[in-house]
């Protein structure tokens, strides 16, 4: 029974996982990123447009990812250079992405998905599904085992430490946000490549769900992506709809769990110390 | 005050109130100007007549009383959500949860309106009151979690939004759906719970115009918020906690208690947007009726610089933009997305300008 749900779980949690990794980079560098939703949406849009115009899914992936990066750059310029309110900027970007994709909405023509790889025992999935665990481990290694990761985290934890080493907080925050756009854009590409279409507002709150996973996973790549698998499993249960549980309850389970975790009933949730704080 | 004196105070007198007010108006006006300029450029790039575009913008909202009625109708929920966001913001809280609060409140109003059959003077206040309580409750939960456990209200209000969407979807599809209907909506509320349309009071307004008394409630709410924030003790406490939390503590104000009641008040006001929809327009609860009013409220509050009267003006502007977006779509075939994109840009510009001015003040 549970095994039947694995394919759906993997398909549902992979875009979340990419976005959550993105969210972790940004938030670890001290920038609240509510723009995940918009970055993911524009990534999906870019994938479909890129694939439609060039005929190649790889170009689509490239376009989608760079659209995600462009949104991230906008977020970085606003929040880091102009010290704009991060929460509001994020929401502005989400509205902007929704508007752009609606305005330029691509023709409803089916596009090819990214290549699927057949693996013994596991089955046939998009190669992105296999990429996610690799990137998850790589992100963990980067953030917690390398000096660069340490600096990126220092941008979000202690500005003084960076200043003492005469390193620029601005640079590391830009890096964090851009990585966020890169990963989230890829997540959006995956979403569109599995659905084969672009529809208006197709992310449907997945960006916010990924943000919930970031918090649920205590701002760590391994637990953040694991949270995405849990959330994806909840969605798979909801879609399978074989028990008499209202689907809406399963749907809101991730949100309720995140609130419980945030309040500190389960374990300790500790955001980066200067998350959301402006310079000065 | 004579013109000369006003001019001198605007240009020279650094401490004058009118100068401060004048300067604070510049960024929003610039942003609006930039918005229309950008839209015009996009229209020009589409090889369509940009002048025709501007003509439609000007005519769309003001050609007749009917048109202006639609503008005010569009503005009504945004006035409420804008005020709700601003009240939170003044005390240093981000209420991103207006969307969820207005849904819960709308459902409460619809439920009361469906189940109780009472005379108008009893039923209308009862419906509005229960909607406000529902909205306040939905807002107070993140407020309490912030005050008691230090959990960030931004995340919790977002989570509460999604929980509200799911809950409403469940109620309206599984429990209270209108019999024999495919549309996820509740049955109609009793006539006694319906807020009259202004067209029935003002004869020159066409009967089809949806503008209703909830707009007048919104205006009253603007005045209430202004007086509340400026002249009452609670308003003072709220602003003090927002500007100088430590000072507030020293002064004997409990910032935690303020956090909870501010979020409740903000939720109650956001809830009135749901009331306007259910009691003033549709007379039933329709699933996902709001087109992001809670989020647009953030833009409205920003543009109105968190001043209740500024918010009224900003909400009317956004009401106009929504009407224009529809007209442009019909008349010129330009998708409405252009205006959403512009709205997003507007928000980003405004926060950037605010950020720059904050930076300047720090140095």
Task: Please state, in angstroms and rounded to a whole number, the distance separating the CA atoms of residues B257 and B316.
Answer: 33
Residue A126 phi/psi, 5-degree rounding, is -55, 145
Contacts of residue B2, defined as CB under 8 A and 6 or more positions apart, other chains included, come to: none
**A266–chain B Cβ distance below 8 A for any pair:** no
Residue A205, in any domain of the structure? yes
Residues A212, B159: C-beta atoms closer than 8 Å: yes
Residues A96, B341: C-beta atoms closer than 8 Å: yes
Long-range (24+ apart) CB contacts under 8 A made by B359-363 are B359/A82, B359/A83, B359/A279, B362/A280
In chain A, the residue whose alpha carbon lies closest to the alpha carbon of B146 is: A263
Task: Say what the pLDDT of residue B56 is.
Answer: 86
Contacts of residue A48, defined as CB under 8 A and 6 or more positions apart, other chains included, come to: A60, A106, A111, A192, A197, A198
Strands (E) located in chain A: 116-119, 123-126
Task: Encode pLDDT of A245-274 as tens digits.
Answer: 788 888 888 888 888 888 876 555 677 877
Task: Say what the pLDDT of residue A280 is.
Answer: 46
CB-CB neighbors (< 8 A) of B152 in chain A: 262, 271
A90, A33 Cβ separation under 8 angstroms: yes
CB-CB neighbors (< 8 A) of A101 in chain B: 337
Q: Is a pLDDT exceeding 80 seen at residue A79?
A: yes
| Token pair 């401060």: residue | B20
Task: Encode pLDDT of A165-183 as tens digits.
Answer: 888 888 999 999 999 999 9
User: How many C-beta atoms lie closer than 10 Å to residue B49's C-beta?
Assistant: 13
**Partner B, chain A 142-171, Cβ-Cβ below 8 Å:** none
Residue A85, in any domain of the structure? yes
Residues A92, B348: C-beta atoms closer than 8 Å: yes
User: Which tokens sit at A61?
Assistant: 């992936």
The shortest CB-CB distance from A95 to any of B154, B340, B354 is to: B340
**A73–chain B Cβ distance below 8 A for any pair:** no
- Domain carrying residue A74: 2-263
CA B201 to chain centre: 25
Mean pLDDT of A146-173: 86
Residue A253, in any domain of the structure? yes
The pLDDT > 70 percentage for chain A reads: 96
Q: How many residues does chain A have?
A: 280
Mean pLDDT of A49-63: 92
| Token pair 């450029």: residue | B41
Please compute, for residue B112, the number of CA atoms within 13 A of its CA located in the half-sphere on the CB side.
Answer: 27
| Token pair 């469940």: residue | B170
Residues B348, A208: C-beta atoms closer than 8 Å: no
Chain A nearest CA to B363, separation (Å): 9
Nearest to B294 by CA among B70, B82, B72: B82
Task: Report how far apart the first and last C-alpha atoms of chain A are (Å, whole number).
Answer: 55
Query: Backbone dihedral region of B306: left (phi > 0), alpha (psi from -120 to 50 degrees) or beta?
Result: left
CB-CB neighbors (< 8 A) of B169 in chain A: 248
A272, A150 Cβ separation under 8 angstroms: no
The shortest CB-CB distance from A252 to any of B151, B158, B163 is to: B163
Chain A nearest CA to B6, separation (Å): 33
User: Which tokens sit at B263?
Assistant: 């979020």
For the packed helices B65-90 and B255-277, what is the interaxial angle rounded to 10 degrees? 160
Task: Report how far apart the first and last C-alpha atoms of chain B are (Å, whole number).
Answer: 35
Task: Please state, in angstroms and rounded to a whole number, the distance separating the CA atoms of residues B50 and B261.
Answer: 49
Q: Is B45 buried (19+), middle (13-18) or exposed (0-12) by CB count in 10 A?
A: exposed
The pLDDT > 90 percentage for chain A reads: 46
CB-CB neighbors (< 8 A) of A96 in chain B: 340-341, 343-345, 347-348
A48, A111 Cβ separation under 8 angstroms: yes
| Token pair 């993911």: residue | A40
Nearest to B28 by CA among B326, B285, B299, B213: B299
Task: Please state, in angstroms and rounded to a whole number, the distance separating the CA atoms of residues A273 and A154.
Answer: 9
For the packed helices A127-145 and A2-28, what is the interaxial angle rounded to 10 degrees? 40
Residue pLDDT tens, chain B, 363 long: 577 776 676 666 666 777 777 777 787 888 888 888 888 888 888 888 888 888 888 888 888 889 999 999 999 999 999 999 999 999 999 999 999 999 999 999 999 999 988 888 899 999 999 999 999 999 999 999 999 888 888 889 999 999 999 999 999 988 888 888 788 899 899 888 899 898 888 888 888 889 999 999 999 999 999 999 999 999 999 999 998 888 998 988 999 999 999 999 999 999 999 999 999 999 999 998 988 899 899 889 988 889 999 999 999 999 998 898 888 888 888 888 888 888 888 889 888 888 887 777 665
Residue A279, in any domain of the structure? no
In chain A, the residue whose alpha carbon lies closest to the alpha carbon of B335 is: A103
Beta bridge partners of B109: none
CB-CB neighbors (< 8 A) of B99 in chain A: none
Query: Backbone dihedral region of A10: left (phi > 0), alpha (psi from -120 to 50 degrees) or beta?
Result: alpha
How many interface pairs between A and B have CB atoms less than 8 angstroms apart?
A: 151
A137, A223 Cβ separation under 8 angstroms: no
Mean pLDDT of A16-34: 94
Task: Please state, in angstroms and rounded to a whole number, the distance separating the CA atoms of residues A34 and A82.
Answer: 17
Residues B169, A82: C-beta atoms closer than 8 Å: no
Task: Say what the pLDDT of residue B278 is.
Answer: 94
| Token pair 């207006």: residue | B98
Task: Please state, in angstroms and rounded to a whole number, the distance separating the CA atoms of residues B15 and B17.
Answer: 6
A230, A254 Cβ separation under 8 angstroms: yes
Chain A nearest CA to B209, separation (Å): 28
CB-CB neighbors (< 8 A) of A80 in chain B: none
Chain A nearest CA to B342, separation (Å): 7
Long-range (24+ apart) CB contacts under 8 A made by A163-169 are A169/A30, A169/A279
Task: Say what the pLDDT of residue B238 is.
Answer: 93
Please compute, for residue B247, the number of CA atoms within 13 A of its CA located in the half-sphere on the CB side.
Answer: 9
Using CA of residue B7, residue B8, residue B11, residue B14, what is the dihedral sign?
A: negative
Nearest to B43 by CA among B35, B31, B32, B53: B53
Nearest to B146 by CA among B80, B241, B79: B241
Nearest to A198 by CA among A58, A39, A52, A37: A52
Mean pLDDT of A55-64: 92
Residue A280, in any domain of the structure? no
A274, A154 Cβ separation under 8 angstroms: no
CB-CB neighbors (< 8 A) of A78 in chain B: 348, 351-352, 355
The interface pTM score, or ipTM, of the predicted complex is 0.86
Query: Backbone dihedral region of A267: left (phi > 0), alpha (psi from -120 to 50 degrees) or beta?
Result: left
Task: Please state, in angstroms and rounded to a whole number, the distance separating the CA atoms of residues A76 and A243.
Answer: 45
Residues A91, B336: C-beta atoms closer than 8 Å: no
Residue A19, in any domain of the structure? yes
Task: Say what the pLDDT of residue B13 is.
Answer: 67
Residue A275, in any domain of the structure? no
| Token pair 């025709």: residue | B52
User: How many C-beta atoms lie closer than 10 Å to residue A231's C-beta?
Assistant: 27
* CATH number of the structural domain spanning residue A48: 1.10.3470.10
Residue A272, in any domain of the structure? no
**Partner B, chain A 187-226, Cβ-Cβ below 8 Å:** 205, 208-209, 211-212, 215
CB-CB neighbors (< 8 A) of A252 in chain B: 162-163, 166-167
Residue ranges per structural domain of chain B: 80-290
Q: How many residues does chain B have?
A: 363
Residues A278, B170: C-beta atoms closer than 8 Å: no
CB-CB neighbors (< 8 A) of B354 in chain A: 84-85
Task: Say what the pLDDT of residue A90 is.
Answer: 93
């Amino acid at each position: 029974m549970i095994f039947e749900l694995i394919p759906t779980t993997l398909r549902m949690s992979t875009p979340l996982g990419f976005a959550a990794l993105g969210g972790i980079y940004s938030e670890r560098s001290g920038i609240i990123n509510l723009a995940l939703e918009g970055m993911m949406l524009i990534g999906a849009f870019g994938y479909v447009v890129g694939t439609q115009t060039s005929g190649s899914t790889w170009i689509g992936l490239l376009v989608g990812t760079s659209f995600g990066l462009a949104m991230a750059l906008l977020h970085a310029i606003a929040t880091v250079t102009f010290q704009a309110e991060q929460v509001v900027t994020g929401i502005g970007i989400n509205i902007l992405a929704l508007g752009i994709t609606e305005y330029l909405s691509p023709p409803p023509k089916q596009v090819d998905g990214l290549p699927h790889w057949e693996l013994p025992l596991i089955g046939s999935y998009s190669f992105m599904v296999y990429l996610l665990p690799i990137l998850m481990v790589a992100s963990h290694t980067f953030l917690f085992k390398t000096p660069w990761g340490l600096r990126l985290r220092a941008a979000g934890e202690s500005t003084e430490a960076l200043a003492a080493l005469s390193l620029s907080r601005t640079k590391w925050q830009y890096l964090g946000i851009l990585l966020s756009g890169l990963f989230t854009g890829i997540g959006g590409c995956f979403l569109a490549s599995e659905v084969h279409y672009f529809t208006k507002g197709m992310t449907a709150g997945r960006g916010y769900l990924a943000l919930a996973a970031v918090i649920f996973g205590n701002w760590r790549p391994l637990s953040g992506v694991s949270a995405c698998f849990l959330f994806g499993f909840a969605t798979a249960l909801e879609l399978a709809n074989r028990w008499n549980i209202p689907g809406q309850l399963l749907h809101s389970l991730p949100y309720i769990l995140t609130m419980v975790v945030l309040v500190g009933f389960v374990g300790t949730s500790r955001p980066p110390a200067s998350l959301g704080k402006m310079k000065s | 005050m004579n013109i000369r004196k006003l001019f001198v105070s605007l240009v020279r007198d650094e401490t004058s109130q009118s100068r401060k007010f004048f300067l604070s108006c510049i960024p929003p006006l610039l942003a609006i100007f930039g918005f229309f300029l950008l839209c015009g450029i996009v229209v020009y790039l589409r090889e369509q007549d940009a002048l025709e575009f501007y003509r439609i913008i000007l005519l769309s909202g003001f050609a007749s009383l009917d048109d202006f009625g639609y503008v005010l109708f569009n503005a009504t929920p945004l006035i409420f959500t804008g005020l709700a966001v601003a009240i939170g913001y003044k005390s240093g809280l981000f209420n991103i949860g207006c969307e969820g609060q207005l849904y819960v409140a709308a459902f409460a109003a619809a439920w009361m309106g469906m189940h109780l059959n009472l005379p108008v003077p009893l039923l209308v206040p009862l419906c509005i009151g229960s909607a406000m309580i529902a909205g306040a409750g939905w807002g107070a939960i993140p407020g309490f979690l912030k005050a008691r456990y230090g959990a960030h209200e931004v995340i919790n209000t977002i989570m509460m939004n999604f929980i509200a969407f799911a809950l409403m979807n469940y109620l309206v599809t599984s429990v209270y759906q209108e019999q024999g209907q495919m549309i996820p909506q509740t049955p109609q509320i009793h006539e006694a719970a319906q807020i009259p349309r202004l067209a029935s009071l003002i004869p020159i307004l066409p009967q089809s115009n949806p503008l209703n008394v909830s707009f007048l409630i919104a205006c009253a709410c603007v005045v209430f918020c202004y007086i509340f924030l400026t002249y009452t003790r609670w308003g003072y406490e709220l602003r003090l906690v927002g500007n100088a939390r430590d000072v507030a503590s020293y002064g004997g104000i409990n910032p935690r208690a303020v956090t909870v009641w501010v979020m409740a008040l903000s939720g109650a006001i956001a809830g009135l947007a749901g009331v306007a929809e259910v009691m003033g327009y549709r007379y039933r609860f329709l699933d996902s009726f709001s087109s992001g009013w809670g989020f647009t409220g953030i833009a409205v509050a920003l543009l109105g610089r968190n001043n209740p009267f500024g918010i009224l003006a900003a909400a009317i502007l956004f009401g106009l933009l929504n009407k224009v977006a529809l007209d442009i779509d019909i008349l010129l075939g330009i998708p409405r997305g252009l205006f959403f994109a512009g709205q997003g840009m507007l928000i980003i510009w405004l926060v950037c300008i605010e950020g720059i001015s904050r930076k300047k003040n720090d140095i």
